[in-house]
Structure 1
Amino acid sequence: MRTRLAFALAGAGLLAGSLTAGAQATTRAPAPAPGPVTEGSVKEGSVTAAQLLAKVKSCSQISSGKYRTDDETSATVPVCGANGAVFWKADMDIDCDGQVTSKCNEDTDPWFQDDTAFHQSNGKPLIADKLPYVVVPSKSSTWDYSTSGIKGGGVVAIVYNNKVEYAVVGDTGPTKIIGEASYAAADALGIDPDPETGGAESGVTYILFKNSSVSPIENHDKAVSVGDGLAKQFVQNN
């Protein structure tokens, strides 16, 4: 997992934030689409992991360069473009920053910061162990997320181990590193959410839907409903 030294060096401009989603994403998901539900098809909404992954097999690179997944790795991850979305395939490091909770604080996370780039509707930072969200790289010459129609509160489909979790863009991170999501996002996907020792080394796909938004940003149920609709469009249009 990342040493997260980059966060300490980046300063206040590289902030981070997060809903404990529960043991399985289906505990809060709407009823699945008609048809058999087999082991490995756990998801939120009605679009399967296989349907989404089938549309991101090839990459049309839109970033001017590639990103590292950790401080010590080489740059191998491009940001890819598609109809209605951008995506990348990377690892998952755990973001536990934002409001102090029993799971996310200076004792549980050696690199803890008490703010996130994007805030709740009441002006407070996000809650990392409550809200599933994704961290995007801060704007740089490699890629400026805003030019791709990506913004705070935008909807993201995270795919891992045959599961789909809908999240929002909740924070910005280092300019050279990609692949990070909140404690709650990891927990919902069955990934160890410990900010120091958890995460996934690889196999995580992040699909960010262009010009989308959830308001208020902390409304996860809305992220699921909006995300499911956007995922259906993505599958149809790619």
Structure 2
Amino acid sequence: MRALNSVRLVPAVLAPVLLATLAPPAVAQEGGGGAAAALLAKVQGCKQISHGKYRADDGAPANIPVCGGKGVVHWKADLDIDCDGRPSQVCNKRTDPYFQPETAFQDSRGGQLDSAALPYVVVPGASKMWNHRDAKVWGGGLAAVIYRGKVQYAVVGDTGPTDLIGEASYATARALGINPHPVRGGAGGEVTYIFFQGSQVEPIQSRAQAAKVGSALARKFLAGS
């Protein structure tokens, strides 16, 4: 993560009866406004699980807690653009002065993730304040990213500094209608990140699989008490 401008938890065969039982008050499909509102309603308030609070950018106040409960971890922050990983036409050393040709987690073939093509999110590096692994938020885990009535399902693809929070890939921003430019892009502090604990998308680089697993996990979360 940089201060710019400043799973397979679901089994391969999901029984039809389970899908019927877990029908939520709103259909949790990628991009759906109804899903966005329903998911936001489920994470109102914050039971803080981090031992301290994060900054959105260097020099910003430390006022963002990591919250948890009911099988999810969540926070509300800004969205800085992570263009790291496999070089592409839009993510490279020329377009991004902070570009790094690797991500914390790799694809199923051992290659770097492609920020331009794969929706992924960045979690803070493990520290005494909060350790994503202890919270069952792993590389390849599934997150729902919500912005202005839109939902984008994304995998956990990279880690950032231990004191900053709020970053996602070029592809995530673009899918949400956010300017994805690695220097001039991003969004303010109105982005909600919801991580489904213990989830895993396989293979991590499959955008279609992330959407499928994300929809099923969101349904289950919305159906819970």
Same fold per superposition (TM over 0.5):
yes
Aligned to 1:212: 199
Q: CA RMSD in A?
A: 2.3
Moved over 6 A (4+): none
What is the count of residue pairs matched by the alignment? 206
Q: Offset of 1:42 from its aligned partner?
A: 8.6
Q: Offset of 1:71 from its aligned partner?
A: 0.4
Aligned to 1:190: 177
Give the counterpart letter for 2:95 in structure 1. Answer: T
Aligned to 2:145: 158
Asked whether the 8 Å contact 1:47–1:231 carries over to 2, the reply is no
The alignment status of 1:229 with 2:216, answered yes or no, reads: yes
Aligned to 1:9: none
Aligned to 2:47: 60
Asked whether the 8 Å contact 1:42–1:163 carries over to 2, the reply is no
- Between the aligned partners of 1:128 and 1:161, the Cα distance in structure 2 is 22
- Between the aligned partners of 1:149 and 1:47, the Cα distance in structure 2 is 27
Aligned to 2:95: 108
What TM-score do the two structures reach when normalised by structure 1?
0.82
- Between the aligned partners of 2:177 and 2:29, the Cα distance in structure 1 is 11
2:80 pairs, out of 81, 93, 106, with 93
- Between the aligned partners of 1:224 and 1:105, the Cα distance in structure 2 is 26
- Between the aligned partners of 1:215 and 1:57, the Cα distance in structure 2 is 30
Q: Which runs of 5+ in 1 are unaligned?
A: 6-32
Distance 1:199 1:42, change over 3 A: farther
Asked whether the 8 Å contact 1:153–1:217 carries over to 2, the reply is yes
Distance 1:53 1:171, change over 3 A: same
Distance 1:107 1:101, change over 3 A: same
Asked whether the 8 Å contact 2:125–2:162 carries over to 1, the reply is yes
The alignment status of 1:132 with 2:119, answered yes or no, reads: yes
